[in-house]
Every structure is written in C-alpha cells, then in structure tokens.
C-alpha cells in the first residue's frame, strides 16, 4: 500500500488561499492528524513556509505537535479549555462562559481566544452570553475572536450573510483580531476575511477549493488475480455475480484502512491513473476486489486516489464528502512525502 503526500502541492494550496485574503494572516488547520496526512510532517512544513498560526480540535493534538514547532508558533485548540486538560504552550479557544471562567482562574495571564456562535448552534458563546462577559473578556486581551460558517461551501446560501451580520454585530468595536473564514469562507470574498483566515480542507486538495492542486495519491498492491466464470460470485454475501467471464484482482486494503464500504460495487480503481476498473463485491476489512477484465495486462498496483479520481470524486461515489475520505485514511499505509 502506498500513500503519497505531495507537501509542495499542499504549500502551493496554502499560498493560493492566502493570496485570496491578502489583508489577513493565513493560519493552517491541522486537526485530525492534518486531515489524516500526518501532522508531524505537515505542520513543520507549513511553519517553514511562514505559517505561524495553527488550529487543532483537541489539546492532545496540540501537545503532539508543540515539540515539533518553535515557540513563536501559536497552536489554537478549538475545543477550548476542557476540565483536566494540559494546555501548556497552547491557546484554548473558549466556547462558553464556564470555559472562560475556568481558564481565567487556572491560567491567569496565559493566552486565550474566544469563539462566538453566530447561528451554527454547535460551539461558541451565544449573543446574550457574550454580552454579559464581553467587557471582562476584552479586558483580559484575547488573542482573537472567531466564529464558524455553517454553509460556506454554498456561496448563495442566506446563512452566510446572516452569520456575517451576526458576527459583525457581536464584535464591531472590540479592537481584537477577528476570524470567520475557513476554506469556504475565504472563497466567499473579502467581506468574510477579517484579520485571520483558517484554511483547512483546501490545503489538502479538497472542495470547495476547486483550483486546489492534488495532494494525495493512494496506490494499492495487487495481491492475486483469478479468472471468474460468468455467474460466479465474488466477495462476502454473494452480492456480485460475474455477468461474463472475468478477471478479478484482489488488492491489499479495505475498510480497516479507511476505504468506505459504501464503495462496494459502486466505486472504481484506476490503472496508471487513467483506465477505470470497477470495484466488485463488498469492500472487506483488508481486501478489495476489482474487475480488470478489460486491461491487456494486470498491473502490480491500482490507484484509488489520483488526479483523475481525487478525494471529492471518490467521495461522490461513496455518498459522502472529501473530508471523510481524507480523515478515514488508516495507519497501515506506508506514507511517502514528496
């Protein structure tokens, strides 16, 4: 199994997204192990390219990369100050009055940020909560104030303008750096950029950044091939019957490696990144079976993710989104960084 990660393409994607918001600092979201690609490699490469602001979901993700980055790298924890967490060297993004008072009592003088809920109803202080402690919070000098857009990947969705208006109403006059836009928000235009943007999935080649350079190539080894007669079955549950005499290749990955079972008899793998070969039968824990009947010769590898079948195309076949394809990538792949 070979998972290739093109670091230079990722850095080019970051630069392209940063260029869309020239008045803002461009952070990098490296949560979920840099969307499955290896935060231990991705974060230092971004730092070397000039990134100083990083976002993770959990304190333990921040602790994992803290030793890998110089002291001037700011690592922001989106889950905020959870009880019992070690936040040494990290900046919690405080999501509630309870988190705010806990953090100020336990970490006086240490950096923190604030998240506001502008309509997504997921994380952040709602307007009345923020109004009640705004003066106290601002007096403590938060590093920034942020919110998150629910529908940024749909540019015409009315929720975008509504959340922008709510964010402005809650933060105008604060004289604190502000952040509203992740990848989709960056693409919505300058009204959404404020002082700090947070590119995430776009760095790794995912939508809604349609102009992203591909970052991931996943090539799987062919373990065995066999001839299957018309009418014979392939795989668990006898869900696929050969409609003709066929040549079937078995490759060395499955749902234990993050290849979704929804691709069973619906996805495809590619020969040399070009010729599509249907996945047949069920995706199992360690193996996938592929119809290679129409190939002149059976290769030793087939591609699941490649420029012709990027993460979002594979996600369409599986009925999901590119985020899930990326973050599901398992630990058994041999990762190569280009």
Indicate which residues carry an active-site annotation.
31, 236
Q: What is the SS3 assignment for 62-113?
A: HHHHHHHCCCCCEEEECCCCCCCCCCCCCEEEECCHHHHHHHHHHCCCCCCE
Exposure string of 265-278, with b = 16+ CB inside 10 Å and e = fewer, is bebbbbbeeebebb
Alpha-helical segments (H) within 254-299: none
Report the DSSP beta bridge partners of residue 335: 3
Greatest Cα pair distance, the chain, in angstroms, is: 76
What are the structure tokens assigned to 117, written together?
Answer: 């809920």
Whether the CB-CB separation of 225 and 234 falls below 8 Å is answered with no
Give the Cα separation of 91 and 78 in Å (integer): 9
**Hey, is 30 helix, strand or coil?**
coil
DSSP assignments along 151-174, one per residue: STTSTT-HHHHHHHHHHHHHHTT-
Q: Which residues neighbour 1 within 8 Å (Cβ) at sequence distance 6 or greater?
A: 218, 219, 220, 221, 252, 253, 257, 332, 333, 334
């Amino acid at each position: 199994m070979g998972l290739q990660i093109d670091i230079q393409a990722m850095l080019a994607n970051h630069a392209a997204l940063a260029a869309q918001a020239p008045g803002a600092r461009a952070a990098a979201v490296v949560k979920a192990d840099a969307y499955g690609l290896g935060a231990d490699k991705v974060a230092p490469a971004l730092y070397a390219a000039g990134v100083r602001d990083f976002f993770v979901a959990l304190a333990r993700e921040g602790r994992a990369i803290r030793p890998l980055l110089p002291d001037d790298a700011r690592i922001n924890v989106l889950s905020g100050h959870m009880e019992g967490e070690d936040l040494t060297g990290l900046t919690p993004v405080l999501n509630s009055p309870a988190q705010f008072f806990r953090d100020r009592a336990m970490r006086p003088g240490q950096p923190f940020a604030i998240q506001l809920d502008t309509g997504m109803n997921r994380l952040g202080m709602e307007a009345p909560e923020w109004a009640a402690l705004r003066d106290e919070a601002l007096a403590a000098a938060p590093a920034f104030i942020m919110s998150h857009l629910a529908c940024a990947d749909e540019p015409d969705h009315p929720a975008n303008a509504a959340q922008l208006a709510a964010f402005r109403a809650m933060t105008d006059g604060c004289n604190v750096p502000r952040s509203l836009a992740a990848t989709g928000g960056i693409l919505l235009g300058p009204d959404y950029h404020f002082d700090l943007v947070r590119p995430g999935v776009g760095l790794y080649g995912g939508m809604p950044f349609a102009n992203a350079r591909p970052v991931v190539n996943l090539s799987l080894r062919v373990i065995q091939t066999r001839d299957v007669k018309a009418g014979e079955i392939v795989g668990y549950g006898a869900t696929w019957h050969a409609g003709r005499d066929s040549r079937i290749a078995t490759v060395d990955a499955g749902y234990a490696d993050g290849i979704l079972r929804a691709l069973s008899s619906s996805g495809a793998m590619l020969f040399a990144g070009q010729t599509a070969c249907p996945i047949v039968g069920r995706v199992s824990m360690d193996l996938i079976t592929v119809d290679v009947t129409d190939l002149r010769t059976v290769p030793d590898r087939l591609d699941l993710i490649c420029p012709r079948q990027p993460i979002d195309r594979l996600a369409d076949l599986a009925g999901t989104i590119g985020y899930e394809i990326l973050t599901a990538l398992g630990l058994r792949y041999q990762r190569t960084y280009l």
